Amino acid sequence: MKSIVNFIRDSYYGGGTDVYKAYGENLHYYDVNSLYPYAMLKPMPHNLKYTKLIDLTKRSLASFFGFALVEVNCPLNMLRPVLPFHKEGKTIYPVGNWSGVYFSEELKAVEKLGYEIRLIKGFEFTQANLFESYINHFYEIKKNSIGVERNMAKLQLNNLYGYFGRKQVGLTTLNVNNNELNKILLTRVVKSLTPINDNYTTVLTYSNINYLMLEKLNNQFHSIGSNKHYIMSNVAIASAVTAYARIVMIPLKLDSDTLYTDTDSIFTSKPIDGDSLGAELGQLKDELNGQVVKEAYF
């Protein structure tokens, strides 16, 4: 799993960027109902078809489901590019040419808009509807209840996705005798120190460390407590959910009346009506209940 995690998280940039600016008056503000739970209704990466990276240079995008390193070409005249890229700690939406690792379904969605995609290598998965009954069950409770029951159902919906995206490095809190403190500092990656009294200090330290951290240590690493401290997460599922959520937002981003979009919300110059509005998963709700934003810069 370590190689899959690193593959999905790595990408390389080579395109150009510009800055988006917009101004509007009397704007409407809408939010997608439970966007991430809605995205979790889609087919998820389940089992690896192969245990190593496979060559995809002769494969078509339509035949592939998984995560791939690709070469991307976005037309320079595309007014609203929608395929993100992580550059120097920030998410940008470039035009031009670059290479990166993406979920296949997001690539299929942007290919229809004029992006050119060339597959290089990747991890291929089977598909499974893992969360459909779970999401539908708790959304019905959320939609038809109030107070504590509604809030608990909302937490069940919103928190599940986050578990799959957790870092695989855990933290342990220890109360250490100050006579032993130097040993801890020499052999552990310490996040914080909080003195308790003249004799003891509370140490927040990593309980398990990935191999990239180990390479940076100058001294021998010593485990504290169990050496089987595993973090239950799945970067493939977390990445697929975020990609599906971005796919849902693409039509809203491309709408000429949209001035700005966030993770799950939009500001638009015209009111939205019809089937797009409602209380169901994936539908839009008016966050201002008929009121408008008088003036806004983005």
Encode pLDDT of 239-281 as tens digits. Answer: 999 999 999 999 999 999 999 999 999 999 999 887 889 989 9
Give the pLDDT band of residue 215 (cuts 50, 70, 90): low
pLDDT for 222 equals: 45
Q: Model confidence over 158-185: pLDDT tens digits? A: 888 888 887 767 778 889 999 988 888 8
Whether 227 shows a pLDDT value over 80: the answer reads: no
Query: What is the reported pLDDT for 213?
Result: 54
The answer on pLDDT for 86 being more than 80 is yes
Supply angle C-alpha 284, 288, 292, rounded to 5: 110
The stretch 70-97 carries a mean pLDDT of 93
pLDDT, position 132? 95
Q: What is the domain partition of the chain in residue ranges? A: 2-129+234-297, 171-216
For position 225, what pLDDT does the model report? 43
- CB of 281 within 8 A of CB of 139? yes
For the ranges 79-93, 194-208, 239-253, which has the lowest average pLDDT?
194-208
Residue in this structure with the two tokens 């976005």, named with its chain if needed: 74
Count Cβ atoms within 10 A of the Cβ of residue 59 and give its class: 0-12 exposed, 13-18 middle, 19 or more buried: middle
Q: How confident is the model at residue 14 (pLDDT cuts 50, 70, 90)?
A: very low
Q: What's the mean per-residue pLDDT of the chain?
A: 86
Closest C-alpha to 28, from 251, 257, 271:
271
Partners of 222 in beta bridges: none
Average pLDDT of the segment spanning 292-298: 94
Q: Higher pLDDT residue, 42 or 90?
A: 42
Looking at the chain, the whole-number percentage of residues with pLDDT higher than 90 is 65
Of 41, 42, 46, the residue nearest 136 (C-alpha)? 41
**What is the pLDDT, as a whole number, of residue 217?**
54
Residue with tokens 């704007």: 27
Output the pTM of the full model.
0.78
How far apart, in whole angstroms, are the C-alpha atoms of residue 166 and residue 168?
6
CA 45 to centroid of chain Cα atoms:
15
Whole-angstrom distance, CA of residue 96 vs CA of residue 85:
12
* Identity of the amino acid at 177: N
pLDDT score at 15: 43
186 token code pair: 């020499």
Residue 240 amino acid letter: A
Q: Give the 3-state DSSP-derived string for the chain, with helices as H, strands as E and coil as C.
A: CHHHHHHHHCCECCCECCCCCCEEEEEEEEEECCHHHHHCCCCEEEEECCCCCEECCCCCHHHCCEEEEEEEEECCCCCCCCCCEEECCEEECCEEEEEEEEEHHHHHHHHCCCCEEEEEEEEEEEEECCCHHHHHHHHHHHHCCCHHHHHHHHHHHHHHHHHHCCCCCCEEEEEEEHHHHHHHHHHCCEEEEEECCCCEEEEEEECCCCHHHHHHCCCCCCCCCCCCCCCCCCHHHHHHHHHHHHHHHHHHHHCCCEEEECCCEEEECCCCCHHHECCCCCCEEECCCCCCEEEEEC
pLDDT confidence of 13, banded at 50, 70, 90?
very low
* Residues comprising the chain, all counted: 298
63 compared with 17, residue with greater pLDDT: 63
